[in-house]
Amino acid sequence: VLNIKPVISKVVFYDDVWKKAYRREDAAKTHIGGTPNVSYEIIAQKNEVMENGNEKELQALFDDNLGKFPLYYSTPSLREYIAMEGQYEVNINIDAELYSMLQEQIQTNNLCYLGNSEGWIDLKFKKI
């Protein structure tokens, strides 16, 4: 059984906008307008159809050139972030040899990842 003790001095919650990959097959206008990358072969045609704004022409351009558009476009989405100052103390039982190896390795390679781009942490080991 692990004994986990959070020692948190500050917690901040905030929302930020990020780009999410998205695809709606029924929305040619959204897809065409949302993706900055298309094949060079249809750029002029895309610009012309976008200026006219005709939904049927947009759908036809999209349907006839599916391979020349990316599979996904980006759409701005809100994402909640949590920033914490502090630490988590976790008591674990390990043998002396593993403890020595970990102490040696974190001196040059202390890259620990918790599952997202903001989830990098520093480790410290101490005997109790």
Query: With bands split at pLDDT 50, 70 and 90, how would you rate the model's confidence at 33?
Result: confident
Provide the token pair at 15: 């929302």
Provide the token pair at 31: 């897809």
Specify the pLDDT at position 118: 65
pTM value is 0.44
pLDDT exceeds cutoff 80 at 43: yes
Instruction: Report d(CA 5, CA 91) in Å as an integer.
Output: 9
pLDDT in tens, 58-76: 888 888 998 888 887 777 8
Closest CA to 91 of 123, 121, 127, 115: 127
Alpha helices by DSSP H, listed for 3-91, are 28-34, 43-52, 55-64
Specify the pLDDT at position 25: 63
